[in-house]
Amino acid sequence: MKPLFLLCGLAVCMTAANAGALLKPTKGDSRNLQPRAMDIRAQVDGAFARTTITTVYSNANRSNIEADFVYAAPPSAVVTGFAYWYGKEKVQALVSDRERAEQIYQVSQPNLDSSLSAMRGKNVFRARISQVAARQDLRVQIELAAPLERESNSVVWRYPLVDDTRDVTLDWLRVRVETDPKRASRDNMGAQQNNGDYLWRKYNFKPKSDVRVAFPSPGGTGVLRADLSAEHRTDGRGGFLDDGFFALDVKSAENPQGDPQISGIETSDITRIERPAPGVARVYGRYSGSNNAVLTWGNQKVSVFFHRPPHGYILEVQHLAQVLWGAHRIQDLSTDPKNRAKVVSLSHSFNLLSKWTSWIAMPSEQRKRYDAEIKRLDVQRRGSQLGRTLALEIEANRPFSPLALQSRAGLRALERSSVGRKTGFEEEHARANALRARMKDLARVVVARKLGLGQSDMRDADARLKRLAEVGAQNEDDFLQNAQQGLRFKQVKALKADYTNQVCALRRSEPEVVALQKRIVALENRYGIADDNFRSKALKLSIEVIAKTTLTEALAGREDGERAARLRDMGERFVRELGDSSFDDTYFKPQVEERLAVASDTLLAEIEAGREKMGVAQSARREVESLYALAPGLRATIRDEGSREWQQDLAWRARAHETAYRLAQTKRDRSSDTIKIGDLQGQLDYLSGHTEQDSDEFEKAETERMNNGEPLQTARQYRLNVDGSEEATPDSSQQDAMLNAGNDYSLLSGNAQITVKAPQNIKEVSAILPDGTQTPLSWNGKARQWETGFDVPTYTRDGRYNVAIVMVDYKGNRTRYTMPFSVDTQKAATLSDIGGNSNLWNLRLVCDTPATSVTASLPWKSVELTAQTNGEFGRPIEVPKAWQGRDGKVRFVITDRARNRTQIEVDWR
């Protein structure tokens, strides 16, 4: 039995040149599912056609598999529908908001083998099908709308049958093309004709060519010809409104300038005017009324009739012109995020995909299960809200307030509701959970005050905790003990972070820092959490700071200066104290390598973009050469595959290949344009001069590709595809280099950020979100990391989730990691402290959940605290004379990784 099936578009490595369908296992050694039979039906209207493809796939594997269905539509086509069969039930895909689709995925994931992918391209789609039954058939259906191709005085319907079947012999093939009975045709498969229908039936058939039918253009054979597909909108009661949609294909023998103009009928909302070939134009828009219109293009005119359907005419659900107009309108509006609401509305109206919507196909049987799960979650969510409200009223000594009574009544109503009875919701259980959760919060506040770790406006937190313990029959000492253990640990961590700050500032021997070290040791002994490594860790960080500063001096030409010598001496002394081998090898050289990676990546990007002579590239090149002078052993050769030199050579070769293809095109299509040819030849000679190949070799290779019908590859496409892409198992060194994958992220609904630090041989990184959406990461050369943002829907429940990180190196090898994150909508509890004296304040702050930034608003200015490890922040602040010895307040504003903002105030006396 096949499970839930969700679909939306996804860009994959299929192009218009190899459009087609593919059903392949997602992993393992299983074989691709082969097409066993196909039924293709086309309805031709003027110079446009609607095509429905139904394919039966056979799973020859001996076990159930999970498979990806990938479909690449032919050029200019719009995918207008998708369906599959669940037993005898045909399950039609319907558009859903992206967030709603993600909710279905998340809710159904524990019980159903569901899938969801994101739209990345116009005409390429992927859907994950779980549990395709062994030795069983799977039937899927795709619907297309597309303009026909123009050939002389004919229009041609064509379907890429060879790409769909991929050298497979079909049990049977049925192709039916419906058109106006008056139109003659020429086909390449020996069709049977019956009143305008053209029918092929083939058995045990192995396609060797695509299906092709040519029709005479209905727009006539004159200098200007126009083929119109138009239909009025229905009024929902069997009649028609006065307006509709049209798609117009125009062919002129004169190839006039400008756009075609329509007069004699009111037109509006022209989404676009396409120019697919010289002398050919396509117009998509809306019209009102019915009349003989005049189409003018250049010096020629032709009559076009916009008709109104007769009474009793039955209109198909989505007319060709309607879906083509809707698809182009959606595509045009999607370029601006401000149009999201309009795009989603149009997507629902036309049942077409967009970047903010998905297709969902769910069998009726599983729809019931999903609806039941949604109701259960709604009851749980409502019960948690009512329970927390009741707990807050009880702790405030208002157990019988109107709000408390209302909450109790709400919990009882949920328990007695039909959904509550079916899901086993219990009023007592929900109330007890809410009381325990609130007691944990209060226990942290009480212990923090006792340890002197922070202040709170809740002066009566201990009384509130006692009150909740009595009502809930809980032992408050257990909660206090747990809170104390956690807060003591955080207190020591905050002090260690402050100590690390001071050591990195090279103040380790100052009396204040020595006293801080003694305090840390004393607290560790008292709390029984001794850690002798904190001093060595701080010292290592300080050596890294010294190495980085030494490198800055060297790059500024002061390598032999007094400051650089003093820094090196200090670094060597600290290294000996740690027992490490060498300052240069262990600390300085890694800093050179890191700086070299950033400069090399910047230079590579500039070369690839054709900006190698600009200031940014020149600056990056000078820095690369300076860094190689400091560490000559880092320089590799072009033949060292994956090296920085090899990558730069690849960028030059990629640009040379692109230029050579454009040169070959120009010689073929514009042989008389000697200026353009000379310009491209000069560019090719310049680019080949940076490689080990002659310009003739590039031109010969790209001319051969062009003559074979292969499309132009841009420099970036060539570089990314140069070595293919085979799956690889990550080795331990790659895993060690994956610095960020595995970190625990805490998020709130809305936009979130993923950052990944990857090995230097990685060319692209993408993230697969819990809903199946695949998002590419962008390289940040300055920060030397890969970055992207994604949305966490507002309905997402608090809890832990996983994001898969996929990295591809320059050989095409792929490695995959799992990055866990949690959704947390609770604000961070914080501990703060101000130490020091009247002249210098040492600001410290610790959060019980990781924070991204902390700002301290002082009486005279605001400052950003420095982030330490484990969510700790600190910074020494010099106090102006006007404020020395005076009382004041410091307000901390904490922003955590979920973008929750917490504010606390601390008194200074």
Domains of the chain: 5-209 (2.60.40), 224-315 (2.60.40), 365-474 (no CATH), 533-635 (no CATH), 732-823 (2.60.40.650), 827-908 (2.60.40.10)
Cβ-based neighbours of 70, under 8 Å, separated by 6 or more: 12, 14, 21, 22, 23, 24, 124, 125, 126
Cβ–Cβ < 8 Å for 25, 32: yes
Look-up of token digits 């303009």 = 147
CA 343 – CA 345 distance, rounded (Å): 5
Number of residues that make up the chain: 909
Long-range contact pairs involving 563-571 (C-beta distance under 8 Å, separation at least 24): 570/506, 570/546, 571/543, 571/546, 571/547
Cβ-based neighbours of 242, under 8 Å, separated by 6 or more: 232, 288, 289
pTM over 0.85? The answer is: no
pLDDT number for residue 40: 94
CA 451 – CA 641 distance, rounded (Å): 58
Phi and psi torsions of 456, nearest 5°: -145, 150
3-class SS at 570? Answer: helix
Which residue, among 131, 121, 24, 133, has the nearest Cα to 79 in the 3D structure?
121
Structure tokens, 572: 């060597």
CA 285 – CA 268 distance, rounded (Å): 6
CA 30 – CA 61 distance, rounded (Å): 6
pLDDT number for residue 790: 64
Distances (CA, A) of 608 to 641, 653, 693, 869, 899: 18, 10, 18, 38, 37
pLDDT number for residue 414: 92
- What is the chain's Cα-based Rg? 35
Look-up of token digits 């030795």 = 135
Look-up of token digits 């593919």 = 22
Q: Order of strands, edge to edge, in the sheet holding 745-747?
A: 745-747, 814-823, 799-809, 762-768, 774-776
pLDDT number for residue 7: 47
DSSP-derived pairing of the beta strands 261-263 and 785-792: unpaired
Cβ–Cβ < 8 Å for 47, 183: no
Which residue, among 259, 263, 297, 299, has the nearest Cα to 275 in the 3D structure?
259
Which portions of the chain are predicted below pLDDT 50? 1-19, 109-121, 311-317, 723-751, 794-795, 825-833
pLDDT number for residue 195: 58
pLDDT number for residue 777: 83
Structure tokens, 140: 């899927």
CA 103 from centroid of its chain's CA atoms: 17
Instruction: Give the alpha-carbon dihedral of 314, 318, 319, 321, to 10 degrees.
Output: 160
Query: Which residue intervals of 689-747 are DSSP H helices?
Result: 695-707, 715-721, 732-737
E-strand spans in 650-792? 745-747, 750-756, 762-768, 774-776, 778-780, 785-792
pLDDT number for residue 201: 87
Which residue, among 286, 241, 246, 250, has the nearest Cα to 268 in the 3D structure?
286
Q: Order of strands, edge to edge, in the sheet holding 840-847?
A: 830-836, 840-847, 872-878, 866-867
